[in-house]
């Protein structure tokens, strides 16, 4: 009987120790630092008669959010140059907590109340940020015809993602650091489809974009990735609202 009792005690202690270790391990795994920025891309179909309200309330939403929310880093909106009813919105937040804070803000909800029910269609791309880069000075562009904005979609061939990342991030960093006319460059991969990339790029004007394409860094990028890219398309966008806090300098860990 004594031997059986000792066996039961030993088994109970072993279970208790295992439960304690498991609890500690679970707790450690649940505490995940919220350090990855949120990079969202939206496409809306906005009727011509709704666009004044879209951009008026959008302006209030953007300016108040950037001024009052430390974690709201960049907010951009503009029309497709060949289809005015297509509107693109690209946003960057410090992390998921900052994004959730923004969605509870009065200015965001005022924007949704004013135009949300009038939007004919929506597409949302939650992107895995790879590089988010801007100049140090804040940016606030409102309905500026001279500014050139591109939304590029790139499909990378299977097996080339790491090499493509290395080349494109290096080219982006050099462009932001050395070219005054390159104002912002955001790059991310579609979550769940890491071979599909979206780039949102803002240039001071067409001359700055032309100069960028003639730099050694850009030509090197094209040459290095020509066999890595399966498909590429570029959508020109009218710069209606292009804003960021400045000094955004994020690069995903390799």
Render pLDDT for 59-82 as a digit per residue (tens, 0 to 9). 999 999 999 999 999 999 999 999
Check: CB of residue 134 under 8 Å from CB of residue 179.
no
pLDDT at residue number 202: 98
Nearest to 172 by CA among 118, 204, 135: 135
Residue predicted with more confidence, 85 or 20: 85
For residue 141, give both structure tokens. Answer: 């562009």
pLDDT at position 32, please? 66
Q: Give the predicted TM-score (pTM) of the model.
A: 0.86
The Cα–Cα gap between 50 and 115 comes to: 7
Q: Which two tokens stand for residue 177?
A: 């650091």
Percentage of residues in the chain with pLDDT exceeding 70?
Answer: 87
- pLDDT for position 11: 45
Contact 90, 74 (CB under 8 A): yes
Q: d(Cα 22, Cα 26) in Å, to the nearest integer?
A: 6
Instruction: Please write the tens of the pLDDT for every residue from 108-143.
Output: 999 999 999 998 888 999 899 999 999 999 999 999
Distances (CA, A) of 109 to 135, 159, 213: 30, 42, 40
């Amino acid at each position: 009987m004594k031997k059986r009792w000792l066996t039961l005690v030993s088994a109970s202690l072993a279970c208790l120790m295992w439960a304690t270790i498991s609890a500690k391990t679970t707790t450690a795994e649940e505490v995940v630092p919220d350090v990855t920025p949120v990079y969202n891309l939206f496409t809306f179909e906005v009727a011509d008669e709704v666009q004044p309200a879209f951009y008026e309330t959008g302006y209030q939403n953007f300016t108040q959010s950037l001024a009052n929310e430390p974690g709201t880093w960049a907010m951009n909106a503009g029309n497709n140059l060949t289809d005015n009813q297509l509107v693109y919105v690209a946003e960057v937040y410090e992390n998921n907590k900052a994004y959730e804070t923004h969605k509870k803000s009065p200015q965001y909800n005022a924007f949704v109340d004013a135009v949300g029910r009038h939007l004919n269609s929506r597409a949302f791309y939650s992107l895995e940020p790879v590089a988010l880069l801007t100049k140090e000075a804040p940016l606030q562009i409102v309905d500026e015809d001279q500014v050139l904005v591109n939304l590029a979609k790139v499909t990378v061939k299977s097996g080339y993602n790491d090499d493509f990342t290395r080349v494109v991030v290096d080219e982006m960093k050099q462009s932001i650091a050395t070219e005054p006319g390159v104002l912002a460059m955001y790059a991310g991969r579609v979550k769940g489809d890491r071979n599909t990339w979206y780039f949102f790029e803002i240039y001071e004007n067409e001359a700055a974009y032309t100069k960028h394409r003639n730099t050694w860094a850009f030509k090197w990028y094209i040459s290095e990735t020509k066999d890595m890219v399966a498909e590429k398309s570029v959508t020109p966008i009218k710069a209606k609202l292009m804003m960021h806090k400045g000094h955004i300098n994020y690069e995903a860990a390799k």
